[in-house]
Amino acid sequence: MIGIAFGIKLNVWGDYACFTRPEMKVERVSYDVITPSAARGILEAIYWKPAIYWKIDRIHVLNQIKWDNIRRNERPGKIPAGKVKTAFKGGDVALYQDSTEDTVQRASLVLRDVSYIIEAHFEMTDCAGPDDTVEKHYNIALRRMRKGQCFHHPYFGCREFPVQFELIEGKAPASYYYGKKEGERDLGFMLYDIDFSDEMKAVFFRANMVDGIIDVQKCLYCGGVS
């Protein structure tokens, strides 16, 4: 990575969210708050280029953490790769899944009425060319966020939980937890991101919330990663 750009503050909110804990094998159970990797995914849905890489600095938890138990129909499998290869070769195969077959109902513990502020910046990568400048990508990202544009609609963990977003250019609103005793809590080990350079290794960090704000970079520095 080379060069650090200016930061942004993005307010994201929605009715439901599910940031699934990897230790839960069958039923979905969400983390208490959005993970840095999910936050990065939202930013990349709005603006991403090979020349930049988004890094999450802080996460503000604006609303009180609330939960809901729901049941959803899910499909445990996917279209086999062999069928896809056969279709490419001109074979007569059915490339679809029947919603009436192999559907399973699973319980999920999800977050309700979520709202966060994502503080982030991007770094220029080795893929940046001579025409890729910090100012160029920063201004494009700001324009897209102001207009509500995105490459694909971002979501909170599951596609049925869409994200609404708005760029914050003034003072950020205070968290529900600001100045409250429950605003300081140890959220335990949380998924930070996936290291694609190391065989898709999952990287975890110790998340600590103070006054409703998780200083991701500070947590990484003080608590380390695993």
Give the pLDDT confidence score for residue 226 in this predicted structure: 56
Backbone angles phi, psi at 213, to 5 degrees: -120, 130
First to last CA, the chain: 21
Give the pLDDT confidence score for residue 106 in this predicted structure: 83
Cβ(59)–Cβ(209) under 8 Å? no
Could you tell me which residues come within 8 angstroms of residue 28 by beta carbon, excluding any fewer than 6 positions away?
18, 20, 106, 107, 108, 109, 110
14's tokens: 């929605």
Cβ(97)–Cβ(152) under 8 Å? no
- What is the distance, to the nearest Å, from the Cα of residue 123 to the centroid of all Cα atoms in its chain? 18
Mean confidence (pLDDT) of the chain:
89
The band of 89, judged by pLDDT with boundaries at 50, 70 and 90, is: confident
Instruction: Break the chain into its structural domains and give their ranges.
Output: 2-73+105-173
Q: What is the pLDDT of residues 107-163, one digit of tens each?
A: 899 999 999 999 999 999 999 889 999 999 999 999 999 999 999 999 999 999 999
Q: What is the pLDDT of residues 182-205, one digit of tens each?
A: 889 999 999 998 887 777 888 899
Beta-strand runs (E) in 18-149: 28-29, 52-61, 67-74, 104-124
Could you tell me which residues come within 8 angstroms of residue 26 by beta carbon, excluding any fewer than 6 positions away?
106
For residues 2, 138, 13 and 108, what is the CA-based torsion angle, rounded to 10 degrees?
-30
What whole-number distance in Å separates Cα of residue 62 and Cα of residue 114? Answer: 8
CATH number (1.10.10.10, 3.40.50.300, 3.30.1490.20, 3.30.70.2660) of 2-73+105-173 reads 3.30.70.2660
What whole-number distance in Å separates Cα of residue 186 and Cα of residue 225? Answer: 15
Q: What angle do CA 56, 60, 63 make, to 5 degrees?
A: 140
